[in-house]
């Protein structure tokens, strides 16, 4: 944990300790400038302690377990049913893929995609066109691998039967 976080937690112990710690504006200004790398002017309307508290990470992210400063960059994702930070949104576990890409890259068709959970979002460049369908990339890969595995066994069976017919003709 950082010194700044320790300072805030220590100030939360009781009122007299908080008054003692927060009355030392030199210490608070030092924490802001050197530990947190925040430009703070002594003429600022906000007290330094309030500025420090506003920059301390407050909540634990459910997806990755990391800590967040603010909720502004954490966005709700209805496909996964949780709030995701920018790091989580870029991870393999939470990446999404459009229906078109799923069909082209993973050789799926509409019947394969119909079984998956989907979210509909407006297309960013063509607002008047139908909405984009987004699927979880991990789920698309799982369905694609299962489909290819099934096709592989069907192909092997057809090849074996064809070979048997060829031998029967000879």
DSSP state of 123: -
For the whole model, what pTM was predicted?
A: 0.52
Q: Report residue 55: phi and psi, to 5°.
A: -100, 0
pLDDT of res. 28? 73
Nearest Cα to 119, choosing from 135, 99, 97, 140?
135
- Identify the DSSP state of 130: P
Evaluate if residue 167 carries a pLDDT over 70: no
Name the residue with higher pLDDT: 68 or 169: 169
Better-predicted residue by pLDDT, 64 or 85: 85
Mean pLDDT value across residues 119-139:
87
Question: End-to-end alpha-carbon separation of the chain, Å?
Answer: 79
- What's the pLDDT at 101? 92
pLDDT of 63 higher than 70: no
Rounded CA-CA distance 38/51 in Å is 9
The whole-number pLDDT of residue 2 equals 53
Mean pLDDT to the nearest integer, 125-139: 87
Beta bridge partners of 18: none
Provide the pLDDT confidence category of residue 147 given band limits of 50, 70 and 90.
confident
Mean pLDDT, to the nearest integer, of 155-168? 62
| DSSP 8-state secondary structure symbol assigned to residue 35 | I
Element (H, E) at 64: none
So what's the pLDDT on residue 1?
Answer: 41
* Cα 11 to Cα 70: distance, rounded to the nearest angstrom: 21
């Amino acid at each position: 944990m950082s010194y700044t976080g320790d300072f805030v937690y220590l100030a939360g112990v009781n009122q007299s300790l908080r008054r003692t710690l927060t009355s030392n504006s030199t210490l608070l200004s030092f924490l802001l400038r050197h530990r947190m790398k925040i430009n703070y002017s002594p003429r600022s309307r906000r007290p330094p302690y309030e500025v420090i508290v506003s920059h301390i990470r407050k909540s634990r992210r459910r997806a990755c377990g990391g800590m967040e400063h603010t909720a502004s960059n954490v966005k709700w994702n209805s496909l996964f049913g949780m709030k995701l930070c920018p790091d989580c949104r870029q991870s393999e576990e939470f990446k999404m893929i459009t229906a078109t890409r799923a069909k082209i890259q993973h050789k799926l068709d509409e019947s394969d995609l119909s079984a998956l959970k989907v979210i509909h979002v407006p297309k960013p460049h063509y607002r008047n066109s139908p909405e984009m369908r987004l699927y979880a990339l991990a789920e698309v890969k799982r369905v694609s691998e299962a489909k290819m595995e099934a096709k592989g066994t069907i192909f092997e069976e057809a090849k074996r039967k064809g070979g048997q017919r060829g031998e029967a003709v000879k």
